Amino acid sequence: HVRVGQYGSDNEAIIDLDDDADKNEVLVVQRGSGNTVDMGDDGEINDSDKNTVKVRQFGTDNDATVLLQEDADNNSLKITQRGSENNAEVRVVDNSNNNTVKVFQAGSGNTVDMWGSDGISDDSDYNHVMVSQRGTNNDAEVEIEDGSDRNQVYAAQAGSDNEIDDIEIDEDSDYNYVMAVQAGSDNTISDIDIENSSDKNAVIAAQLGMKNRLNVGITNDSDSNTVTSTQAGEKNRSTVKINKDSDRNTVDGTQRGSKNKSTVSVKRFSDRNTVKTVQKGSENESKVAIARDSDKNSVKTVQKGSGNDSEVEVADNSNNNNVTTKQKGADNRSKVFATDSSSRNNVTVNQKGSDNASR
């Protein structure tokens, strides 16, 4: 058992568990500003298993760095930071498996970085990461790459002007599960990217509040992924792009409230994808575009309320797509465009209510 307590400013604690240093318990408590806990540059957990490390930092401008590498398995790490402008950086690399990392931050301007530090990578599997941030102007980034499979990442933010800057599943990383939740206003999930032959991953995104933003991209031969998003509030924006030979993906988006916008693009050579958009409220907009040479996709738009707009476009040489639009309420408008060179597409528009228009 190792316990370290530091009080004041600009203190540093280095934790180095190396070469079969197993089943240790470490607690570091720092109070003040500009303090550092280093388990990533001068210190690390390397080829060591079943260790428990807890880091508690109270104050401003503190930094905690965690590196699990080279077959570091079944370790448990918990970082708690209370205050402003704090930073936590986490890396799980080099075939490190079954580790649990929890990061809690309360305050403003805090950052959790699993991006620039490569996050979970290099065939690291079955890891569990949980990030919780409360306050304003906080930022979290997550990356899973290089054949890292079956990892679980949970990121939650409560407050305003927060950002989950990037969630990326990349380079043959499969069967991963990511959940991102934001509660408050003016929050952003700027990019959820599944790319480069990453298959069968599941991403769930939920935003509760006003003027939130969500962007999702599935690209570069990434197949059979599932993305589910929910936005509740007003003036929210959701954008989804499926492109570059990405097939059999499922995207299910729901928006509840008024003046929300949803945009879905199925780019060239992307086939057999299923996209469903549900909007409940008034003055919402939904746009779906299927680009040329994309076949056998299924697109369904459901709008319930008044003054909603739905637009679907099927471009040249896109065949055997199924497009369904359902609107219930008054003053709704539906537009469907299909070019002459596209064939065997099935388009259905169903409107219930008064003063609706379809063309």
- Looking at this protein, which amino acid is placed at residue 114? M
* Predicted confidence band of residue 117 (pLDDT cuts 50, 70, 90): low
- C-alpha closest to that of 106 among 139, 77, 80: 80
Q: How far apart are the C-alpha atoms of 355 and 171, rounded to whole Å?
A: 50
Instruction: Please tell me the distance from the alpha carbon of residue 100 to that of residue 72, in angstroms, as a whole number.
Output: 11
Give 116's pLDDT tier (boundaries 50, 70, 90).
Answer: low
Cβ neighbourhood burial of 62 (10 Å; 0-12, 13-18, 19+):
buried
Residue 10's pLDDT band, with cuts at 50, 70 and 90, is: very high
Amino acid at position 309, single letter: D
Q: Residues, the chain, total?
A: 359
CA-based torsion, 279, 155, 204, 216: positive or negative: positive
Contact 83, 59 (CB under 8 A): yes
Distance, in Å, from the CA atom of 144 to the CA atom of 32, rounded to the nearest integer, reads 33
pLDDT above 70 (res 92) = yes
Cβ atoms 266, 294 nearer than 8 A: yes
Mean pLDDT of the region 67-72: 91
Mean pLDDT value across the chain: 92
Structure tokens at 142: 């997550």
Would you state the structure tokens that stand for residue 9, as one six-digit string? 């400013």
Quick one: pLDDT at residue 339? 74
For the chain, the first-to-last Cα distance in angstroms comes to 72
Average pLDDT over residues 38-61: 89
- Answer yes or no: are the C-beta atoms of 100 and 72 closer than 8 Å: no
Q: Which segment of 27-41, 59-73, 334-348 scores lowest on mean pLDDT? A: 334-348
CA distance 124 to 93: 6
Statement: residue 22 has pLDDT above 90: yes
- Closest-CA residue to 102 (of 148, 49, 156): 156
What is the per-residue pLDDT across 254-263, written as a single tens digit (0 to 9) for each?
A: 999 999 999 9
| 8 A C-beta contact, residue 256 and residue 231 | yes
Report yes or no on whether pTM surpasses 0.75. Answer: yes
Is the pLDDT assigned to residue 151 strictly greater than 80? Answer: yes
Q: Is the pLDDT of residue 90 over 90?
A: no
H/E element, 200:
none
Summarised one tens digit per residue, pLDDT across range 255-314 is 999 999 999 999 889 999 999 999 999 999 999 999 889 999 999 999 999 999 999 998
Cα 116 from chain centroid? 16
Judge whether residue 340 has pLDDT over 80: no
What pLDDT is attached to residue 106? 97
**CA dist., res. 89 & res. 106, Å (int):** 16
| In contact, 246 and 275? CB cutoff 8 Å | no
Residues 6+ apart with CB under 8 A from 348: 323, 324, 325
3-class DSSP state for residue 272? coil
pLDDT at 81 > cutoff 70? yes
Q: How confident is the model at residue 358 (pLDDT cuts 50, 70, 90)?
A: confident
Of 255, 256, 237, 68, residue with least CA distance to 148:
68
pLDDT in tens, 214-259: 998 998 899 999 999 999 999 999 998 998 889 999 999 999 999 9
Instruction: Round to whole Å and give the CA distance between 197 and 219.
Output: 8
Residues 6+ apart with CB under 8 A from 12: 35, 36, 37, 38
Spatial separation of the C-alpha atoms in residues 203 and 190, rounded to whole Å:
14
What's the average model confidence in pLDDT over 147-173?
92
